[in-house]
Amino acid sequence: MNLYLLFIKFFKIGAVTFGGGYAMVSVIHTEAVDKTGWLTDEEMTRVVVISQSTPGVLAVNMSAFTGYKVAGFWGALCAVLGVAVPPVIIVGIIAIFFDVFRELKLVEYAFAGLRSGVVLLILDAVIKLGRKSKKDLFYYIIFILSAACSILININPIFILIAAAVSGLIYSYIIIRLKGGENN
């Protein structure tokens, strides 16, 4: 595996994706699954789930797990550096010229447009990952309950993720017991 290519791919992702980790899911999926074949759809779903479940920045976690899968430790390092360097440079430039940027109406309008685009990137990631997920009655129940808890009751997403994970463990345990103790 060419580590330079891994670094460059993630450098481009870090340079052009605004809106944080969730906005990057779709872009990383396109690069790592569709264009390069580094990951399968199932592996990409696992990368997203594991990245959300571990401490740290989602984009960095996704980059690290993808890079590690592709080229081990050095792949993880190259992918993380690639995705992290552009935002550091951009934030550094903005910090230097913060007073000038803050007063420009064009910058304010540009960020308003970027916010709309970020929503689209997140929606695209949800659709791509949702298409590949195993769908059964349990999936739909957890999805509906999670959405209701988030939208209607305004429960913190961390608690929703923990409850969904515990529910999945309990459900899997019950299914395994009903099937006679198979190791799935």
pLDDT digits (tens, 9 = 90+) for 74-107: 999 999 999 999 988 988 888 888 777 777 888 7
- Chain centroid offset of residue 182 CA: 32
Instruction: Name the residue with higher pLDDT: 177 or 155.
Output: 155
Quick one: what percent of the chain has pLDDT higher than 90?
Answer: 34
CA separation for the pair 156, 123 (Å, rounded): 20
Identify residue 3 by its one-letter amino acid code.
L
SS3 of residue 57 by DSSP: coil
Backbone angles phi and psi of 107, in degrees to 5: -65, -45
Instruction: Name the residue with higher pLDDT: 146 or 17.
Output: 146
Rounded mean pLDDT of 58-86? Answer: 94
Q: Evaluate if residue 184 carries a pLDDT over 60.
A: no
Please tell me the predicted confidence (pLDDT) of residue 74.
96
Rounded to two decimals, the pTM is: 0.63
Instruction: Name the residue with higher pLDDT: 39 or 106.
Output: 39
Question: How many residues would you count in the chain?
Answer: 184
Q: Do 26 and 128 touch, CB atoms closer than 8 A? A: yes
Please tell me the predicted confidence (pLDDT) of residue 71.
93
Q: Evaluate if residue 126 carries a pLDDT over 80.
A: no
- Chain centroid offset of residue 73 CA: 20
Identify residue 160 by its one-letter amino acid code.
I
Q: Do 24 and 88 touch, CB atoms closer than 8 A? A: no
Query: 10 Å Cβ neighbour count for 13?
Result: 22
CA separation for the pair 37, 127 (Å, rounded): 19
